[in-house]
Structures are given as C-alpha cells and as structure tokens.
Structure 1
C-alpha cells in the first residue's frame, strides 16, 4: 500500500514542484507506531528553506484533499532531504558527479557490498566511484541494477 500511495503522491507533487522550480527527491508513506506519515523530500540547486516547505505542503495538501488517495488519518511532512540525501535515479547520480557518495549493493563486488568515495562517472548501466583504502585509491564500476541504496555522504 505504501508504494502505491507514494507513487500517487509523486504524481500529484511533480507539477506543483515543477511550477515552483523544485525537484522531488523522494516520497515515503509509512506507519510509525500507530501514526501514518506521508513524507515528501524536495530540493533545488539553492536548497530549500522552511517557507518553501510550507508553501509546498499547503499546495500538496490541497491536491491530496481533492483527489483523496489516502483513507486513514496521516501526517504530511515536506522537508529537505538533508546533506546525505538519497540518490534515486541516473539523473540524481549525474547531477552529483564529483560528490562523495555511499553505495550499498545487493551482492558483493570485489568482495564488498558497501562503497564510499567520490562519484567519478555515470553511464547508462553503471557508475564509477573512486574509493580510498588507507593510502590506496581505486576505481570501482558498480552496475546500476546491483545498487540497493545510494546517497550523498559527508566524509570527514
């Protein structure tokens, strides 16, 4: 059910966000305790502030009320994805070439399932990440179909 509602929310949110010059990063519909939460993460090249989140929340809330895809009571939360935002599409990866990323894979590649490093390149079926291990640096090609989770990473 969560995936279907998240998709319907994305369909309603996309034209609103496009009109406002914003990008949809992710949508989640999940239950925490006894409460349902519909979370919409937005971004723009300049970042987003509280006023922007409030404006999106108001417009999206009106669209959700009009189309009424959710029957149970829920809380709508609109926010920025934060510094370690998820990377969901090839466009997300392309927009973040040169940034630090953390990638998890469904199966091992070179004996590992987690890679942290600099996103070097994005191709149709794989991405290239430059990974440092102590004093050694190597480039890993990760097939897109094997990526289970990806996000920007703050590396100290």
Structure 2
C-alpha cells in the first residue's frame, strides 16, 4: 500500500518543490497513522509540512485509497532518517545504519552496520569488519544513525 500511496502523492509533492522521501502507514485501529516524509536541500520547516499536508489531504480525500480511519502526519525524515529504497542507502555510503530484516539471515535479524556498496537492490553493510549483503526487499525497516563529532 505504501508504494501505491507514494506513486499517487509524489507528483504533487514534487510540484511543490519537495522530494517525497517516503510513505509509511502504521496500522493501529482508529489510531492508524499515515506518515509522509518530505525532503529539500534547504531543509524542511513546519510551514512546509503544513503546505504539503493540505495538498496531500486534498488528494487523499478525492482518491480515498485508505478505507480505515487514520491520522495524516507530514514531516522531515530528520537526522535518523528512515530508508525506503536502495537508492537512499547509496546516498549515505560510509554512514552507519540500524537495520531490521524480515527474516533472520546468517544469524542476524537486527544489526547496526556501515553502509557499503549498493548495487541495484543489493546493499552491502560492514559489520565488525565483515561484509554482509542483503536485498532491499529483505529489509523490514532501517534508519540512519547520526554521527556527532
């Protein structure tokens, strides 16, 4: 569903001058949440989020792709930005990420590692000096771990 929503919303968000970083739908009965993450080279303000929220809300009202009740949140991906595509990992090669896989692979389900090479949908991580490769489709969720020097 998130991919379909992203395809639906991306043209409007991009027409407003922002990049659609990702979409996630968190199911929780009457308290479900649709999160839309937007990004811009100059950063994201509360006003930007409000403008995009207004536009996205209008599209969702017309298209009505979600049958359940939900809250709409529009925000920046922030410093601990979640990753939604392999291409996003490639933007942060050399940085550390926290990753949770859909299934255990080579004894790992949750790990932290440095993002190595990204080749199509294959993402390499360096964990304790060892290379660990996974397909993007095997990642349940992942986010950047900000480094402060």
1:78–1:103 Cα change, 3 Å: same
Match of 1:144 among 130, 133, 136: 136
User: Deviation of residue 155 (structure 1)?
Assistant: 5.5
1:103·1:150 contact (CA, 8 Å) conserved in 2? yes
Unaligned runs of 5+ in 2: none
1:12–1:83 Cα change, 3 Å: same
Which whole-Å CA distance do the structure 2 matches of 1:147 and 1:8 have between them?
18
Secondary structure (helix, strand or coil) at the match of 2:143 reads strand
1:102·1:115 contact (CA, 8 Å) conserved in 2? yes
Which whole-Å CA distance do the structure 1 matches of 2:111 and 2:36 have between them?
27
Q: 2:73 maps to which residue?
A: 77
Q: 2:105 maps to which residue?
A: 108
Unaligned runs of 5+ in 1: none
User: Deviation of residue 55 (structure 1)?
Assistant: 0.8
Match of 2:125 among 118, 122, 129: 129
Structure label with greater radius of gyration = 1
TM-score, structure 1 as length reference: 0.76
1:51-71: CA deviations, max 9, x gaps? 110110111122222333345
Which whole-Å CA distance do the structure 2 matches of 1:139 and 1:11 have between them?
33
Match of 1:51 among 47, 52, 56: 47
Equivalent pairs counted in the alignment come to 147
Q: Give me the CA root mean square deviation.
A: 2.5
Secondary structure (helix, strand or coil) at the match of 1:141 reads strand
Does the alignment pair 1:63 with 2:55?
no
1:2-26: CA deviations, max 9, x gaps? x3xx455323310112113322233
1:34–1:53 Cα change, 3 Å: same
Which whole-Å CA distance do the structure 1 matches of 2:49 and 2:143 have between them?
21
Worse-matched range after superposition: 112-121 or 63-72: 63-72
